[in-house]
Amino acid sequence: MAKQIKRASVICCVIGLVFAISIITGPGIAGAQMKAPPESVDLNSATAKELESLPGVGPATSKKIIANRPYKSVDELSKAGLSSKAVEKLRPMVTVGGASTAAQPPTATKGQARPAAKAPAASGKASALKPGEKVNINAASKEQLEALPGIGPAKAQAIIDGRPYKTPEDIMKVKGIKQGTFNKIKDNITVR
């Protein structure tokens, strides 16, 4: 009986020691081996792969996040179907670039991408781009892509689904976008 009590007290001491170490070291002894959280990811310009590096974000969720751009705040992730609990989990890992400059490349100067204005309901088409204006096909919202000549809602969604693109010519891999359409939009698109 004394041996059992001694063994139980040793086990309790070991458990208490492990618990104390986990409190002191944070996530535990294995914490040093845990994957570091990703750097801040900009919801308005991140690629699908960058979004998928976030915990709980897979390919389907990253596509929804991209499709619902631009974001003015992290709370708007609910537009992409994320629960409030998921939004709170991601909050420290994500940022929101200015919604009006969501698709602009960071070093862009002249010919920057801009959000396309929504067209009146009668026309159903986003407003046309100004001459020399560029749309980042890796970060633009569906509405911004629809502002490109010859790009409607279906092609805009196909462009979003095909991301990321390394060169503007890669857009011709999208079903329905051939050389003729590419020639119409090539001066208005960029990949960064």
Cis amide bond preceding 59, omega within 30: no
Residue 28's pLDDT is 45
CA distances 35 to 54, 55, 61, 86, 159, Å, are 11, 11, 21, 19, 32
Domains in the chain with CATH codes: 2-33 (no CATH), 41-100 (1.10.150.320), 105-190 (1.10.150.320)
CA distances 143 to 67, 125, 135, 157, Å, are 9, 9, 11, 10
Of residues 113, 120, 118, the one with CA closest to residue 138:
113
Return the higher-pLDDT residue of 138 and 21. Answer: 138
Give me the percent of the chain exceeding a pLDDT of 70. Answer: 71
93-113 pLDDT, tens digit each: 888 875 443 343 344 444 444
Residue 118 corresponds to which tokens in the numbers above?
């929504």
